[in-house]
Copies of this chain bind each other. A is one copy, B any other.
Amino acid sequence: MSKGQETRQRLLDSAQQLMYSRSYSDVGVQEICNNAKVQKGSFYHFFASKSALTVEVLEQLKMQMIESILMPAFAKDLTPSRRFERFIDYAYQHQVQIKEEYGYVLGCPMGNIALEMSTQDETIRKKVETLFESIFYVFVDVLDDAKIAGELDADADTTELAQVCLAYGEGVLLIAKTKNDPEVVKQLLPYVSKLIGFKCLPD
């Protein structure tokens, strides 16, 4: 990676960390720069605006989420319903680790930015919308697998169920963040199987 790209990456990482642990509005360009050891002028050499940087942060966030949680959790070495169980466990462990590190449950970085910025920055809103779509496809895929495996009714609407899963996941993380308690994730997220309607639930 060239020197310039390294600087650029430091800005992205700095912004991601600061915005996730606090909020978009609470973190200024100056602070992002200080944290990344970059001068403000350089910031505007790489990014047109704070908003444009945020769109790239969101893209990075999506890639990390898919590679470090979604792909390993939904790997096809288990039955679809077991994959969901693994996903729930990963999500729980992740929030536990976040709380240890920051002292706060931080929830979903995309959901956080979505609620804060959707009415204020159309570019950011659109970006989060497509991010959610990417995650949505992952859910559709595993739900289609469940159909094939006979764990799900053949007439189930997998695209609708995928949306339902996404919504419920975001909701659980919102409550967990509000209560500042990762145990909420462990307690509530398993109900997603009732939502999906898996035929033979392991108990």
Total copies of the chain: 2
**A163-B175 contact given A23-B116, A104-B119, CB 8 Å threshold:** yes
Stretch from A2-10, A41-49, A81-89, A189-197 forming part of the interface with B: A189-197
CB A148 to nearest CB in B, in angstroms, measures 22
Contact with B along A32-65 (1 / 0, CB 8 A): 0000000000000000000000000000000000
Residues of A within 8 A of B (CB): 21-26, 102, 104, 106-107, 111-112, 114-120, 125, 128-129, 132, 160, 163-164, 166-172, 174-175, 177-180, 184, 187-188, 191, 194-195, 197
28 A–B contacts from the bound complex (CB under 8 Å): A23-B119, A23-B120, A25-B26, A25-B116, A104-B119, A112-B115, A114-B177, A115-B116, A118-B177, A118-B178, A125-B178, A132-B175, A132-B178, A160-B187, A163-B175, A164-B191, A167-B168, A167-B171, A167-B174, A167-B188, A168-B168, A168-B195, A169-B171, A170-B171, A170-B174, A171-B174, A191-B195, A194-B195
